[in-house]
A and B are shown apart, each in its own frame.
Chain A
Amino acid sequence: MDEFQEILQDFLVESFELIEQLDQDLVELENTPEDLELLNRIFRVAHTVKGASSFLNFDILTRLTHHMEDVLNRARKGELVLTPDIMDVVLKSIDMMKAMLHFIRDNGTDEGSEDIEDVVVKLDAITSGGGSPSAASSEAPPEPEIQEASVEEEEVDYSDMSEGEIENEIERLLQMRQDEDKARRVAKIEAGEAVPDAPQIIDEVVKEEAPAPKEEPEVEVAPTPSPTPSPVVEKKPEPSVKKEVAKAPAKSAASVEQTIRVDVRRLDHLMNLIGELVLGKNRLIKINDDVEERYEGEEFLEELNQVVSIVSLVTTDLQIAVMKTRMLPIGKVFNKFPRMIRDLSRELGKKIELEIGGEETELDKSIVEEIGDPLVHIIRNSCDHGVEPIADRIAKGKSETGTIGLKAYNEGNHIVIEITDDGKGLDASALKDIAVSKNVISEKEADNMGDKEAYTLIFRPGFSTAKTVTNVSGRGVGMDVVKTNIEKLNGIIDIDSEVDGYTKIKLKIPLTLAIIQALLVGVQEEYYAIPLASVLETVRISTNEVYTVENRSVMRLRDEVLPLVHLADIFEVDRVFDGAEHTYVVVLGLAESKIGVIVDTLVGQEEIVIKSMGEYLKGMDGVAGATIRGDGGVTLIVDVAALMQMAKSLKAKPAIAQAASVAKVREKPSDYYVMIVDDSKTDRSIMRNALKPLGVTLVEAADGLEALNILKSGEHQFDAMLVDIEMPRMDGYSLAGEIKKYNKYKNLPLIAVTSRTTKADRMRGVEVGMVEYITKPYSPEYLMNVVKRNINLTMEA
Chain B
Amino acid sequence: MSDKMKNIIDNQKKQQDEPDITNLDDVMQLVGFVVGDEEYTVPILTIQEIIKPIEYTRVPQTPDYVLGVFNLRGSVIPLIDLRMKFGLPSAKQTDEARYIVMKSGDEVAGFVIDRLTEAIRLKKSDIDPAPETASGEKSIIEGVGKQADRILTILKVDTLLERDF
A residues at B contact (CB < 8 Å): 1-4, 56-57, 154-155, 158, 163, 166-167, 170, 276, 279, 526, 570-573, 611-618, 620-623, 625-628, 632-636
Contact = CB atoms under 8 A, between A and B. Distances in A.
Interface residues on B, range: 20 to 34
B75 A611 contact: yes
30 contacts: A1-B10, A2-B9, A3-B5, A4-B5, A56-B2, A57-B1, A57-B2, A163-B7, A279-B74, A526-B57, A572-B61, A611-B75, A613-B69, A614-B76, A614-B78, A614-B106, A614-B108, A615-B163, A616-B78, A616-B161, A616-B163, A617-B62, A617-B69, A617-B78, A618-B163, A627-B76, A628-B74, A633-B55, A636-B60, A636-B69
A634 B57 contact: yes
Interface string B1-33: 110111111110000000000000000000000
Nearest to B161: A616
B1 A622 contact: no
A565 to B, nearest CB: 14
A4 B6 contact: yes
B44 to A, nearest CB: 22
B164 to A, nearest CB: 10
Contacts of B11: 163
Q: Which 7 A-B pairs have the closest CB atoms?
A: A571-B60, A634-B57, A626-B76, A611-B76, A616-B78, A57-B1, A1-B6
B58 interface: yes
A646 to B, nearest CB: 9
Contacts, number: 99
Contacts of B78: 613-614, 616-617
A501 to B, nearest CB: 47
A623 B61 CA distance: 10
B49 interface: no
Contact of A633 (B8, B9, B66, B71): B71
A636 B77 contact: no
Nearest to B108: A614
Contact of A620 (B10, B62, B70): B62
Contact of B57 (A56, A57, A572, A633): A633
A635 B10 CA distance: 44
A635 B71 CA distance: 10
B2 A4 contact: yes
B1 A628 contact: no
A573 B75 CA distance: 25
B59 interface: yes
Interface in B52-68: 55-62, 66, 68
A628 B71 contact: yes
A616 B106 CA distance: 10
A375 B1 CA distance: 40
Interface in B113-136: none
B162 to A, nearest CB: 8
B106 A615 contact: yes
B109 interface: yes
Contact of A166 (B8, B57, B58): B8
Given A611-B76, A613-B78, A632-B71, 13 more contacts: A1-B6, A4-B2, A154-B1, A279-B74, A526-B58, A613-B76, A614-B76, A616-B78, A616-B107, A617-B163, A620-B59, A625-B76, A626-B76
Interface string B89-122: 0000000000000000011110000000000000
B66 A617 contact: yes
A158 B4 contact: yes
B9 A4 contact: yes
Contacts of A573: 60
B6 A612 contact: no
B59 A635 contact: no
A176 to B, nearest CB: 14
Contacts of A623: 59-61
A3 B9 CA distance: 7
A763 B1 CA distance: 94
B76 A612 contact: yes
Contacts of B2: 4, 56-57
Which of A526, A612, A615 has most B Cβ within 10 Å? A615
A723 B78 CA distance: 41
A170 B5 contact: yes
A636 B68 CA distance: 10
